[in-house]
Structure 1
Amino acid sequence: MFRKCIYIIQYLFVLIVEVVKANIDVAVIVLSRKIEVDPVVVNFKTKLKSDLCRVILANSITLTPGTMTMIMEKDIYTIHCLKKQFADGLSDSKFENILLKIEEI
Structure 2
Amino acid sequence: MNDERTGPAAPEDEALVLKEVLEMIGAILGGPLDDFHDGEITRETMLHEDLDMVSIDFADLGGRLAAAYGERVNLADYFAGLDLSQIMYLKVGDIVDYVVSCLHGDAAGAAGRRG
Answer whether TM exceeds 0.5 for this pair: no
Pick the structure with greater CA Rg. 1
TM-score (norm 1): 0.35
